[in-house]
Amino acid sequence: MASESLTASDYIKHHLTNLTFGQHPDGHWGLAHSAEEASAMGFWAIHVDTMFWSIALGALFLLLLRRVARKASADTPVGMQNFVEWIVDFVNGIVKGGFTGHNPMVAPMALTIFIWVFLINFMDLIPVDWLPQVVTMLGSGLFGMDPHHVYFRVVPSTDPNATFGMSLAVFALMIYYSFKIKGVGGFAAELTLHPFSSNNKLLQLVFIPINFLLEFVSLLAKPLSLSLRLYGNMFAGEMIFILIALMYGGGWILGIFGGFLQLGWAIFHVLIITLQAFIFMVLTVVYMDLAYQVGEH
């Protein structure tokens, strides 16, 4: 696609635009045909590619684990069962070391987050032009669309809507269990009586709004950092792959050099996608543990 009469700027912009479905200015609903149209569709627009790959990879995860569970044997595990048991033991170890409460949901949630985010991130290792090129051929061949107006991003974690959606789900669980375990008064005291406190009642009243401001900012920073960390790292990785792909349109010498760069970056990127899935899982466990910690109020 890099060689199809697109400038480097247009090529990058094309690869960073989602396949968007939403309402056009004239009132009808349909796919956006440009980045400007996608932006104008506003809040209720849907990134079809992000939704498709998120759901598809989640379904793949469920089907694989279901298949392994159905064929599980009490004998010495081999093959996929051995691999899955290793991951389950690894996640259980993280949960036991980082979660001091008792909630049977936390370990399965941590396992789901780790594998799901890893699969989503893994899509970044597929060459940037392969899947978009397939969709472009389908869109232009079946629907007569302009190839330059067929957008398709295959890495959901490079879409902030996806990372914010996951982090807000974790944040909602954290808030829910904070109220459930600590009660309304306990959670309110956690936000208003720390870090500054005093035995003087009048002085403590002065500290309450200051404490609330500090703790409320800290509370809101949790979903922001959780989502932006994943998004920022994966977006940077995708951008590097796109820049390397541009080299294939610069002649065979630059193309060979780009091939070596792509291989090296892909090998290094395996560590990044795994680490980001691990960090997202660990922070989820830590945030759930904070919801269960009852301090002195």
Residue 21 bridge partners (DSSP): 31, 46
Which residue is associated with the tokens 């899509």? 123
DSSP 193: S
Active site residue 225: yes
Give the H/E segment covering residue 226.
helix 201-246
Dihedral of alpha carbons 246, 237, 133, 252, sign: positive
Q: What 3 state SS string does 234-292 have?
A: HHHHHHHHHHHHHHHHCCHHHHHHHHHHHHHHHHHHHHHHHHHHHHHHHHHHHHHHHHH
φ, ψ of residue 213 to 5 degrees: the values are -60, -45
Q: Residue 66's CB: how many other CB atoms inside 10 A?
A: 10
Marked catalytic residue, from 34, 140, 197, 229: 229
233 is catalytic: yes
The SS3 call for residue 74 is coil
Please give the positions annotated as active site: 225, 229, 233
